Amino acid sequence: MSVPVKKMHLNLFVLNTGHHEASWRHPETMPKSVTDIHYYTRLAQMAEQAKLDSLFIADALVLTPAIQHKIGGGLEPLTMLSALAMGTERIGLIGTVSTTYTEPYNAARMFASLDHISGGRAGWNSVTSVGDVTAINFGRERHPEHSDRYEQAKEFLEVVKGLWSGWEADALVADKQSGTFADYSKIHPLRYKGNYFSVHGPLNVARSPQVFPVLVQAGSSDAGKELAAETAELVFTAQDTLEHAKAFYADLKGRMAKYGRHADELKILPGFSPIIGATESEAREKEAMLAELITPDFGLIRLSNSLEIDLHRYPLEGPVPLEDLPSIEQVKGQKARFEMLVDMVKAEQLTIRQLIHRTATARGHYTMVGTPEQVADVMEQWVKDGAADGFNVMPPYFPGGLEDFVGGVVPELQRRGLFRTEYSGRTLREHFGLKHPDAQPVVTTT
Amino acid sequence: MSVPVKKMHLNLFVLNTGHHEASWRHPETMPKSVTDIHYYTRLAQMAEQAKLDSLFIADALVLTPAIQHKIGGGLEPLTMLSALAMGTERIGLIGTVSTTYTEPYNAARMFASLDHISGGRAGWNSVTSVGDVTAINFGRERHPEHSDRYEQAKEFLEVVKGLWSGWEADALVADKQSGTFADYSKIHPLRYKGNYFSVHGPLNVARSPQVFPVLVQAGSSDAGKELAAETAELVFTAQDTLEHAKAFYADLKGRMAKYGRHADELKILPGFSPIIGATESEAREKEAMLAELITPDFGLIRLSNSLEIDLHRYPLEGPVPLEDLPSIEQVKGQKARFEMLVDMVKAEQLTIRQLIHRTATARGHYTMVGTPEQVADVMEQWVKDGAADGFNVMPPYFPGGLEDFVGGVVPELQRRGLFRTEYSGRTLREHFGLKHPDAQPVVTTT
């Protein structure tokens, strides 16, 4: 009798025409579909037919001149996911909302509403947003410092969880006979007073199926990991090697005990961007085709932003100027992304052009090229080795890269008993084996 | 040859179980459906089959103890309308968002997104929200004064219109060959600096079919009318008599010329809540049935709020204490609502209980009881007499009151040539005969 294998969790990261920087130039993709809800509905349905746990929409609150060479201008996540909820039945729907530039009362209402609309399939990726370029769209001159953003994020989480938890399960009675619509003794104001937010409550949306959305985070800095260990139920992370992924996994799960949490209460899904072919050479051809479409224009802007230095001033074929970069303490944006890029340059001695190509495939997330069996081998190894509870799947281009994944890799994982062949639950928490928030205490005042 | 009659416009005001305060106690209604998107989808589809121009969702950013006796706790408008867009094809979708408690960059994105998702059917009812009870959910102790709220609303409108207008029609090129995704010379930052908002832009959602949602307002105070005359394309208003409606119509349309606008560029839709029966006595029975279900509990709270005095301290069968009310200058909330109630009490010499009953049917909006022909007669008269361009239809209970309207009144209006029998346009602006925003100037800086 064989030991039952641990099943993995799969999330589809939906992003425009795909995760390869040049995907919008691929002959198969439809770049003008960025605002077409029917395009996204087809991708969501494809992922649902493959029984994926969830899909995820990233977000940024800014448009920069990089749009000259980079696809963008698409739909806002919460409206988009509410629409996708109507074209799907089981797959989880995870959207990004910023804790720096959103009113928590508004965010709490919208996620509660999405959770009702989807029948308990909502997830929230909380981010603190990036850069002064975002701040100036919200009446501020400067983006808050990293530590301030995390303090604010922590308060934001306390507020929205408190609002969501404020309605007891049987508060809404709707007793026509007595004329009692709700039992107000079971609807609790929050009366939160913090440094960043003061929110009285109660929430004006009735308790939703999951009580609150699955709490997702993707911050991989030290502060990000600490906040995730305390509050997150699902973590997306960019890890470029198995060793880094194992270290991150052990580090993050190891931080949970001090918050009274079990390691199983948080699932870690590294980004994973496979280029898949029926044969290895077919996969290599697909890789080469995408590589040919890369232009340095956008890559230079992207890396200049991440490394916080203007790379246009350096020769493309020369080394990445490590000596001119800011120190990690000086970095204002995503510290973990910065460190990963620097480590990559040091380990592989990359020129600027090489770094562009090395990260064009999925912005530094783990990439590989191979057959469905080879891809499944790697996924199996990562899960068995304690590097992942599953993957944030990032197809290089849509729909082809997703078709290759759901048509080749998913069946292979299912044959190996590593992935579900049918949904057993209805809600996103059930898909991920996470406990219902009923078991959690209600936040009242701070 | 007969002169072609002016067609009217019809909006369905969707509100929980209906507009009669006691509708949730009606045997036919399903009060727990307030969070059920499929319930709302059926209402929307019913309205669309009758070729109504649009449907509208009101909103408030607060939950009060009144929920003990009053139905509430439903869905947030923008997520709800995004979902409804997927279950309908032609009907317009108008949602309420507050200019006092929302970041304009976030609101602009969501409406642009809804306009894409719905194929050009989005409308935005901008409100300034009501009361300190709302303020305390957004980190403030006091709701801003009436005049401050309107100044802020004006800035908010300038910001979002500027953001929406910032993308020229041909900015998104997606030229795979050259690697140019967008022509950034055709995407204009806003660089707005006001007293309330500073927003740099550009918007990160590509130009939507209507460029921006149909701009709807419902403020009927002097400041509200002035803002509407300058900026609104559609106005919902509560008018309790034909004479009041005519005066309002003439007043508002008369204010438009000084802003360089033609009277046709704004459509006025008074609220209209008919109780309909195949015979007049059947209609009267329906009215009596609803009246029996009214409890004074909620009515006292509602009127105490509107009149800004605690009516619980006065005998229910006694007169409304006009002498103890604040002056119109002292009123902090909806001044037009306050005035309408005072006028009603003066004209009809009402007791508190009578005022509760008189306004329980549709909160002071015009109500009537009759057959489809009688209802159509009144609607025809209002439009012919220059009191309305159409109606904001407020069925007393769902779905019965809506079935009576679309099954009886709409066919009667169609027979008279007063309402469309088929949609001729695709977008909400086309349904209302409003011009495309292309013709309007781009706001850049202030």
Domain presence at residue B65: yes
pLDDT digits (tens, 9 = 90+) for B218-253: 978 888 899 999 999 999 999 999 999 999 999 999
Percent of chain B with pLDDT over 90: 84
Percent of chain B with pLDDT over 70: 97
Q: Which residues of A224-245 are buried (b: 16+ CB within 10 A; e: fewer)?
A: bbbbbbbbbbbbbbbbbebebb
In chain B, whose CA is at the least distance from the CA of A101?
B103
pLDDT band at B446 (very low <50, low <70, confident <90, very high): very low
Report whether A424 belongs to an annotated binding site.
Answer: no
Whether residue B156 has pLDDT greater than 90:
yes
Q: Mean pLDDT across the stretch A273-286?
A: 97
Domain presence at residue B63: yes
Q: Give the tokens for residue B107.
A: 């609101």
Whether residue A1 has pLDDT greater than 80:
no
Domain presence at residue A297: no
Between chains, do B112 and A78 touch, taking CB under 8 Å as contact? Answer: no
Least confident interval from A82-91, A123-132, A392-401, B23-32: A123-132
pLDDT digits (tens, 9 = 90+) for B317-341: 999 999 999 999 888 878 888 998 9
* List of chain A residues whose C-beta atoms are within 8 Å of the C-beta of residue B176: 24-27, 31
Name the residue among B106, B179, B202 with its Cβ closest to that of A295.
Answer: B179
Pick the more confident residue, A219 or A303: A303
Of B129, B294, B122, give the one whose Cα is nearest residue B212: B122
- The count of structural domains within chain A is 1
- CATH code assigned at A33: 3.20.20.30
Domain presence at residue B3: no
CA distance A252 to chain B (A): 32
Whether residue B2 has pLDDT greater than 80:
no
Q: Mean pLDDT across the stretch A193-211?
A: 97
Between chains, do B187 and A63 touch, taking CB under 8 Å as contact? Answer: yes
Domain presence at residue B324: no
CA distance A201 to chain B (A): 6
Long-range contacts of A174-177 (CB under 8 A, 24+ apart): A174/B24, A174/B31, A174/B32, A174/B71, A176/B24, A176/B25, A176/B26, A176/B27, A176/B31
Bridge partners, B126 (sequence order): B97, B217
In chain A, whose CA is at the least distance from the CA of B105?
A137
Asked if A267 contacts A333 with a C-beta cutoff of 8 angstroms, the reply is: no
Whether residue A440 has pLDDT greater than 60:
no
The per-residue DSSP string of B317-368 comes to: TSBP-GGGSPPGGG--S-HHHHHHHHHHHHHHT-BHHHHHHHHHTTTTSEEE
Residue A438 confidence (pLDDT) = 73
Domain presence at residue A209: yes
Whether residue A211 has pLDDT greater than 70:
yes
Domain presence at residue B297: no
Q: What is the mean pLDDT of chain B?
A: 94
Name the residue among A24, A75, A114 with its Cβ closest to that of B79.
Answer: A114
Name the residue among A106, A174, A184 with its Cβ closest to that of B65.
Answer: A184
CA distance B431 to chain A (A): 22
Residue A439 is which amino acid?
Answer: A
* List of chain B residues whose C-beta atoms are within 8 Å of the C-beta of residue A88: none
Domain presence at residue A321: no
Instruction: List the Cα angle B84/B82/B407 in 5-degree steps.
Output: 20
Least confident interval from B110-124, B302-316, B385-399: B302-316
Name the residue among A31, A35, A187 with its Cβ closest to that of B181.
Answer: A31
pLDDT digits (tens, 9 = 90+) for A146-187: 889 999 999 999 999 999 999 999 999 999 999 999 999 999
Structural domain including B188 reads 9-279+364-439
Between chains, do A295 and B102 touch, taking CB under 8 Å as contact? Answer: no
Between chains, do A62 and B204 touch, taking CB under 8 Å as contact? Answer: yes
Asked if B253 contacts B387 with a C-beta cutoff of 8 angstroms, the reply is: no
Residue A19 confidence (pLDDT) = 97
Name the residue among A82, A113, A136 with its Cβ closest to that of B200.
Answer: A136
* List of chain A residues whose C-beta atoms are within 8 Å of the C-beta of residue B206: 34-35, 73-74
Of B120, B206, B200, B207, give the one whose Cα is nearest residue B426: B120
Residue B307 confidence (pLDDT) = 93
